[in-house]
Amino acid sequence: MGVPLDNTVACAGPNPAAAGNDVDLAGLFQAHHAELVRLAVLMVRDLPTAEDVVQDVFARIHARPHNRPHPGNELAYLRASVLNACRSVYRRRAVAVRLGLEPTAGPADWTVNGDFKGSMHGADRLEPPPHESAEAEAIRADDCRRVLVALAALPGRRREVLVLRYYLGLSEAEIAATLGVTAGAVKSSASRGLAALAKQLGEES
């Protein structure tokens, strides 16, 4: 679904005093599209679906001028909207799997051999160091796949917190604003998520 990104759309929150503020959707799209697709693809493990999720989020903002973020809070609103859309994808997939209509998502191969890798936050952690051997690169790629598969198995909130913190590099305050929770809840979810990841990866080794 496309979005007419050459238009400037009034963007105001529920506060009537903010009604005079405008936000350029094209500017938001150009500035944050890559980050939002990164977020979505880490959640749904499917690049085409992730791109559709982000496009749909922008389309809904354009189509519903009465339901806009507070000025200055646009990025947190976009991240939260993408996460909500990813949750809907998970629910639809779960129903389809129970009915035998759709397989579960496979390993996220784009993280190690797709064009998308180069635009990831912290891509240097995934790219092989200079002069790394083919064997070492293969081990690195396998480790990355194992982590992402283990991450996908976590409960939703813990998975979201870890993706936002360690793949997008957000602070605890930014994560709390995105998820609408306290900083304490973010710390708790991160701690429990990391413990679960360590346990799962330890059992596999």
Rounded to whole angstroms, how far apart are CA atoms 109 and 145? 7
Cβ-proximal residues to 18 (8 Å cutoff; 6+ apart), any chain: 12, 70, 71
Helices vs. strands in the chain: H and E counts, helices first: 8, 2
> Which 8-state DSSP code applies to residue 124?
G
By C-alpha distance, which of 106, 128, 110, 109 is closest to 119? 110
Rounded to whole angstroms, how far apart are CA atoms 79 and 57? 10
Domains of the chain (ranges plus CATH)? 1-106 (1.10.1740)
Q: Tens digit of pLDDT per residue, the chain (205 long)?
A: 444 443 333 333 333 333 444 567 778 899 999 999 999 998 888 899 999 999 999 999 888 877 777 778 889 999 999 999 999 988 887 777 677 765 555 444 334 333 333 333 333 334 444 555 666 556 556 677 788 888 888 988 999 999 999 988 999 999 999 999 999 999 999 999 999 999 888 876 5
Q: Is 201 helix (H, G, I), strand (E, B) or coil?
A: helix
